[in-house]
Structure 1
Amino acid sequence: MSDPFKKRISRHALSLSVVVFLLAGAIGLYISTVLKEQHVRTERAKAVSLVQTHAYHLQSLLEHTLSSNYALASLIHEFGGFTRWFPRVAQSLHRIYPEVNNFALSPNGIVDQVYPMEGNEQVIGFNQLKDLAQGEEARRAFTKQEMILTGPVDLVQGGQGVIARLPVLIEDRWGGEDQFWGFTNTVIKIEPLLTSVNLGGLFEQGFSYRLSRTDLPEEILISEQVSNGFDEPVSVFLELPNVQWQLQAVPVDGWVPNSLIGMYVVVSLLVAGVIARFVFLACRMHEQKQQLAFLLSEKTQQALSTARRLSSTLTAIPDPLIEICANGTVTDLHVPSDEAEIYNCFKVGEHFSAHLPHEAAVVLDNSFAEALRNGSHRGAVFNLTIGEVNSWFEVSVVCNQADNLEHHQSYVVLLRDITVRQDAEEQLRVAATAFETQDGILISDKDNHIIKVNKAFERISGYREEEVIGQSPSVFSSGRHDATFYQAMFSQLEETGSWEGEIWNRRKNGEVYPEWLSISTVLDQQNKVSHYVATFRDISESKASERKIRQLNYYDSLTRLANRNLLIEGMNFMMQDKGLYNRQTAVLFIDLDHFKDVNDVWGHKAGDQLLQEVAKRLSDATRAKDTVARFGGDEFILLLEDVDVSVNPDRLVYRAGHVARKVFKAFERPFVLEGNDYQVTVSIGIAIMDEASEDPLEVIKQSELAMYEAKNTGRSQYCFYKASMQERVLARVQLESDLRHALEHDELQLFVQPQWNGMREMVGAEALLRWHHPERGMVSPGVFIPVAEESRLILPIGEWVLRVACAWIAQWQKQEMTAFILSVNVSAVQFSQDDFVDQVQRILKEYNVPANSLQLELTESMLAHDEQDIIAKMEALKAIGVLISLDDFGTGYSSLSYLHRLPIDQLKIDQSFVANIEQGAKNASLAESIISLGHSLGMEVIAEGVETDPQFKWLNDKGCDLFQGFGLARPMPVEDMLSLYRNTVDVE
């Protein structure tokens, strides 16, 4: 290799290493940039988490502290504007809310009471509505009738703080609109507030921060601690009563230290240098390999030229060539590329028989003996299985002898693959055997004269071979096919060279039979027809079987009417093949009303007899071209003949209604079952199928929906399908799906409505289920409870309600609310469970709850079901100690004797009776009678739906024990109820 060539390669290695260094350096710098951005994202995420934590504590503390305003407002409202209780209550609240600087009351916006008074004397007489600094937001609170957090402001008593004002309305004693009383005020100084939540801890942790109010046109700074700039801060917003605060923070040293950036750059350059060095060394090694390869190629060029000439000579030989010495060892082997598998049979250096079957080795051994005697031998044949192919070879052997010395003898063996020839001979033998198959075969010449038949032909047709030779196949014609049929057959034979199909022919004895016939043409070397070959088989038995199968597949075995398969095929034919352009047909879905009663009373045999009679009457009530089908069970479908509606669009509607009335007329006569007359009615749903219909099952579904609509409106009538029916079904399905989602994702809530005694003391509450749908908003229990009962989702919902209720009771027991009773509604589906009592007992034990603190409310309509089961379960619950309340009393028409046997603790007067107390003496007497009945049976009586003071007073005067309703308290979250309970106790 010349020196210039070496220098060129060395320069190439150096250039490549420089390029690699620059590329690796660029990639390293890019990765450094990515790492820097990742570092910034990570630090910002940490900062956001930290800021959110401080913001959450600040917002939670403010919300907790400002809730004291609602307690003061409730007491002002409760006492009608009198505030003599304020110092004592404010003192209690100050212990609960230590962050509050002072509480104040300002009737008509003028502060007249404050606690603590010490240090806040200057506040007395302060007019909030007319103050320049605070008046605007005080007036805004008055206008919106909502609590507003004002600040930061300079406090009259000194320092900066925030003020939460809540406008208070009290009832007009003359029944007019509620009147504005004034404000309750909670004043919080900013500096102690921020110290309580340790906002300065952000700076101690290396963050500059800034707290400001942002809901005003100009941002107001509340507090900040900033060092070294405030670039690209993270922000968290605090949503407070009608105001918005923002907390921002940024690391004191910035998001990325400069030292880290420098380290990234240095590491990138070092890595790029190492990679470039490795590339340079690799190029040098490659250059050395190229030099060695060049020298080796020059030395072997001549040897390769000689080998190519020898290889060309051997390649010209198309068959395997083997050289074998006198002792049988293979010394050389040449095999064409298309027969490379032969290498597995002859291994150089091994005996020729080492890898051959015994039969093949014997053939070669005999061939060598013949070649030794005669100098050569050919014609011997043997077969080998190479891979998965069985191949045949013809052997040619030449014996070479040197100086007539035996030990110098050798054999040259040529193997010729004759597999194709052997296969052709085999196929001829197979064809001769196959000709005598079970199918009849007939061969005719180009003029269609029979020249050959097989034994099966004689057996099927009855003709002997000598009787048909020279005849035309037309002698077997049955006469069932016209000339057009045979012309089409020969036209197809001429065009495609084959024909296949079903044909009827005649046997020698005159019997006509069906056969499956296949005809193929045979072409000569000039590509002209020389022969026709026909094969056929008798299909008489298969045709009979086909008829039976069709009967089973398309007809109902009991009524002999068309079944579902035939009906749907017919509808598909109308939709797809016929098209129904400007035409319509109707589907009538017929269902027997109360068919189950027949099977239950007279048995299934009578039920089958009734179905057969119904099928006969439906067939008599329709036309011949109408389809009557049994769709399943006691469901039948009428598919009317399609009619043209281009002139009269209502033609089909009129006819469908007419057929429905004929069906009703046919069912007016009673059926005779087991010697007894039995009157059957039907409900019919009708759907129209026209050119826009695409799916038969969809049309049937529409007619079924219409049938259910007919049942819902009273049975024994017909109803046409409307899109609104489908929409109601879809809405109900969607509601059920949403309810399952709500159960899985905790969207259900449990509210409570307090229950009061005659002295307006809260003694208990009723747990009420609420569902706040993320899209629909609050869903009424009257909407989703029936769906839950139908889908049996009420079971897991009911168990969840019991568990939540018992968990609350367990907490109340620890808070000195031992006499407080919580009522839980129980569905009829839930109560009918076999293990319901065990479930209640298990949950009570799990939460360690006294049984007499839980009261189960059962509806009066539930008592109409299994009487013995209900009594047994009630007694089991009473044995545990659980209280039982009978809800909606007076609406379920229950028997008084039955009621006397039930272990009920409480009767609940339905709100419909309470609402009508003031409307007449009759309604009032009903409520009074229920109270008297409950007391006479030893039961406690509670009235629900109490909405006015006159209702409360009347019921109290009549001896009603407990009261519940909007006039006393609306359903509320449990936290609000507990707060109301404690406030009531404190006030007392």
Structure 2
Amino acid sequence: MSDSVTKTLSRRSYSYSALAFIIVFVLGLYASYNWESQQLKVKRAQALSLAQSYSFQLKSVLDHNLSGNYTLAALVHEFGGFTRWFPQVAASLLEIYPEVNNFALSPKGIVKHVYPLEGNERVIGFNQLMDIEQGGDAWDTLKQQRLILSGPVNLVQGGRGLIGRLPIAMESRYGEAGQFWGFSSSVIRLDDLLDNINLASLVKQGYVYQLQRIDTEQPKLIAAQEPELLQDPVQVEMSLPGVTWRLQIAPKEGWLPKQTIVLYLLLCLIVAAVIARLVFTGLKMNLQKQQLTTLLSLQTEHADQTDKRLLSTLQAIPDPLLELDQDGIVLDLRTPNDELELEQFFICGEHYSKALPYAVVQILDNVFLETLHSPSQSHRGALFSLIPNNASQMLWFELSIVFRKVQDNDQLKGRFIVLLRDVSARQEAEQQQRIAATAFETQDGILISDRENRIIRVNKAFQRLSGYSEAEVIGETPAILQSGKHDDAFYQHMFESLMSKGTWEGEVWNRRKDGEVYPEWLSISTVHDHHGEISHYVATFKDISERKASERQIRQLHYYDSLTRLANRTLLLEEMTFLIHEKGLRNKQSAVLFIDLDHFKDVNDVWGHNIGDQLLQQVATRLVDTTRSKDVVARFGGDEFLVLLEPTDISINADRAIYRASHVAEKLSKALSRAFILNGVDYQIAASVGIAVFDEHSHEPLDIIKQAELAMYEAKSTGRSRHCFYEAGMQERVLERVQLETDLRHAIDNDELLLHFQPQWDAERRMVGAEALLRWQHPDRGMVSPAVFIPLAEETRLILPIGEWVLHSACQWLSNWRKQHQMQGFIMSVNVSAAQFSQENFVEQVQAILEKYHAPAEALQLELTESMLAHDQQDIISKMSALKALGVLISLDDFGTGYSSLSYLHRLPIDQLKIDQSFVANIEQGEKNASLAESIISLGHNLGMEVIAEGVETTAQFDWLAAQGCDLFQGFGLARPMTMDALLKKYQDTQTS
């Protein structure tokens, strides 16, 4: 070959090398881009899966803990708005929902009850509907009438948190639709919630995140970790009660780090340079081949003969065979089974690395190097994978390589003989086995048995849940786990389902190795062989003990009163419905006893709700002890109890049910009349009982209970502490009382209340003061007697706003009198009820009213009944002392009719004793009354108190009392109660006379 031809071929080699460099570099960039795109998809898929996992956990925690609102709302509705049960129920709910910081009840939107109170004191009195930050969500909750999650908000008690509110609508006593009662709410602190789901662990995994609320006009940030680093984040939206949240996460270093791009560029440059060098080398070698063509032609015939010998050998090999020279050039590719996909990777005449992926090239480089340095110059077992063009399945090949020297034109040349065995099926099977092994070790117990139902394998969860090791159960049947709670019919039905459907699942009670019986949810499936016969049974199960315990606790809350452990209203109504509609009352009658404790509110007002609750518990115990085991005793609400009597056969005696109901009512009244001992103190209480008898013609349980309630009110109106059967006409009397109560509630707003004043006189018949007496001028009924509406006001606690109105009116008159010189020293007495005085803020209330009207405190005298002193003495002394500090005078009314001790009386800062009118009557004739009145006057003076006698009707009574040293006098014999104008005129007449 001439020198000019050689130079031309040399220049062409350089050109081809440069072209190869450019092509390989571009292909490398393209391959890098595809590879990184795949990696990016994998990363985003992993991030999305992680975000979905945290979102699911967050949603599960919130949904679980917010469900406590439904329990509170149901109980508020069940108890008709009474909330004394709240602390005990809230305490038990906090054990079920540990992520909740506190539960609260908010009548009319104002927080009145919160549990636990410690640390949440500032929440009491918080108006959710009027708050700037929370008011919008509170109104939305009220409008939509469903549970809505608010937040994050700044909590009143400090910190930030989430608030789940559920509006509560009350029904009236007779089932009619009511109005908005308030909210039940649960507060979850945001920090505790985030710690619970361990959202911060995303940062440890190299992610940054941002949690937002997105149902608002502008997304509201809930929590974030370096949100400024979020680049093209994946996001998951969560639908929570009334709101939507979104969780966004992204790698902190970005999806494609800059150093990775630089690394890919360097690798592409290196590979392109290597390929270019190989191309140049190959062209050089080609030139050399052309030079040696003449020499090789001499050996062609010999090579042909060798090929023929090898061909017969190769035909017996089923796997592809590859022959390469020592430099890695592909000399031949034999594919006996038409494995055409290999031809695109191994190109004859080209280096094996030209079309192979970089990772495969590295494997082959290492294998060829090991083959050359091994003693046997062979290698087996190396694996690599390829993905042919236009194919979705990856092919796996196992290599068997031998390096041999062959004679070629008197020269020894190396050859690599490579056998490529397709092991794709084997790799797929191994992969499936690894997946199956991973899935086998789950949190659920798994048991596999053969067709004879002999256990052949169990997982670790099975050993943990059952207590048996694998060695102890292999070869045994699942009967080793049976608890004995299920009969043979149960297991027969199970196997019939397996035979017909191939599956069975349900709740089963099994026994652990230590003997403990526990509930589990069991799922069994059958496995069939290639003949369609059952070859194995696969059973999975999980322990549901905690779920069963929660169900029992929910049932206890739903059907039983938390304070007394008696049946509640729901259970009683279900029992009555079953008795009437399902069991039937043919030739039988039953009865409902409606029991209401007389004056129970006084116990709560004076002694506190703790004593009241203890009293209710002892009442419940006596009711249960007094009735039969088949009678149902229930707490209907507050101090109201119901007893559903066992049906009585009336086929022989038609009055038998009435007799038994009356007998039971008498027994109950007698049992309740015995003194209750609480904290070493005797409490005497009685009950009024209403009875309604019903039979097979009755339909609605609520109607029967209503009749019993009407009978109870009739018993109260006829003197209390007795029982009464329901009769027609009772409802009209109750409606009359309800109407009177309704009118009384509006009396203040309608300006129907007014004060009359009865003058008080000294021994010289000079007017020195007056007692303010409440009157009610009804627009239709006329002047209503105080004996009618005052007891009703005390029973319904309307006495509190009415008593406050009286104080306002009295102090307003005192303020006016202060401006008149002739009224200086005039004292006005105002009666205060026990419920009014027992208010915690009573002293502050009096002080505020005095300051509002600038009334002289020394002209105001509060009259307290002696019976009030029998209660919380320390509280009474404290309040009286505080009132005296203000300058207010205190009078002890009805003295001699109560139970106060003399040793206690001298400790009270009392200014005046008022002799009850029962001692004044016939005082000039009766020796006993005269002696008592004389003793009271002497006692009062000895204790430094002023003494006033009320009920002075005659001149003889006045003269006798004056002779005994009585200071002041009041009664019809001196002056009747009169209007303010008449009082002022009479006062002026006495001053001028």
TM-score by length of 1: 0.41
Higher Rg: 1
